[in-house]
Amino acid sequence: MNVERIWQADVQQRVFRELVEAFSRPGDIREIGDCTNGADAQRAVLATLMDGEMTLADPHGQIAAADWPLLQAKPGATESARYIVADGRRAPDFQPLLGSLESPEFGATVLVEIDCVGEGALTLELAGPGVDGKRTLCLAGLHPDWLARRADWVGGFPLGVDLLLSDARRLVALPRTTRIRISGEAL
């Protein structure tokens, strides 16, 4: 039996550690292409985090039909899913769960696929927990509406959403605590 690497426990452990680093250090770009054997980063993250306990929304049809049974996640609406996968090139046309004061962890984790993490015309200046002073992040292929919508979603800490942006091989996290200033504008 030849099982794709991302479904194997040792790869998932490594992807998870990259996620820990990514969420601990917002704006820090994590390269996972090597350990996943070139599998798409968003898929590798889903393989690492999903199981039958989780609800997953796929409003933009990112997930291949064959992957659903492997992920085991329950398909859910964007308004109620704990995890959402989205195409960042499109405007976010949904309202994710923000959690509650008592249980902010119910605020969704949104996996956003974009063209490029680390280079691009959109330049963000980040600050907040996990960032030593300030950090700059360049992105390509993120629809401009995302940042405005995110600002609404994370306006009432501890409620909010946690974003994980990815391209083919790289990850970068923008948890709800990260303060973002747009310092260079994409066209």
Partner 1 sequence: MNAMSHTQADNAYNFGFLDEYAKKEVRRAILKAIAIPGYQVPYASREMPMGRGFGTGGLQLTLSLIGPDEVVKVIDQGSDDSVNAVNLRRFIEMTCPGVSTTTATTECTLIQSRHRIPELPLTAQQIIVLQVPYPDPLVVVEPSEDKRKIMHGEADYSRLLVKLYEDIVKFDEITISHRYPTRINGHYVIDPSPIPRWDVPKLNDSAALTLFGAGREKKIYAVPPHTIAEPLAFSDVPFRVEDFRDEQGRRRACARCGCVDSFLDEFVADSGSKTYQCSDSDWCDMQLQQVKPLQGKPA
DSSP character string of 159-187: S--EEEEE-SSEEEEE-TT-EEEEEE---
> Could you give the string, one character per residue 72-101, with x where binding to partner 1 holds by CB under 8 A and - elsewhere?
x---------------------------xx
179 binds partner 1 (CB under 8 A): no
Angstrom distances, CA of residue 22 to CA of 31, 143, 163, 183: 10, 21, 11, 21
Alpha-carbon span 55 to 60, nearest angstrom: 16
In the complex, the smallest distance separating the C-beta of residue 121 from partner 1, rounded to whole angstroms, is 27
In the complex, the smallest distance separating the C-beta of residue 102 from partner 1, rounded to whole angstroms, is 4
17 binds partner 1 (CB under 8 A): yes
Peptide bond into 158 cis (omega under 30): yes
Give the count of residues interacting with partner 1 (CB under 8 A): 44
In the complex, the smallest distance separating the C-beta of residue 3 from partner 1, rounded to whole angstroms, is 6
In the complex, the smallest distance separating the C-beta of residue 156 from partner 1, rounded to whole angstroms, is 10
105, 119, 145, 152: residue in contact with partner 1 (rule CB under 8 A): 105
Q: Residue 171: beta bridge partners?
A: 30, 166
Alpha-carbon span 187 to 185, nearest angstrom: 6
Sign of CA dihedral 13, 138, 87, 94: positive
In the complex, the smallest distance separating the C-beta of residue 179 from partner 1, rounded to whole angstroms, is 11
Residues at the site binding partner 1, with contacts judged by CB under 8 A: 3, 7-10, 12-14, 16-17, 19-20, 23-25, 47-51, 53-54, 69-70, 72, 100-105, 109, 128-132, 157-158, 162, 173, 175-177
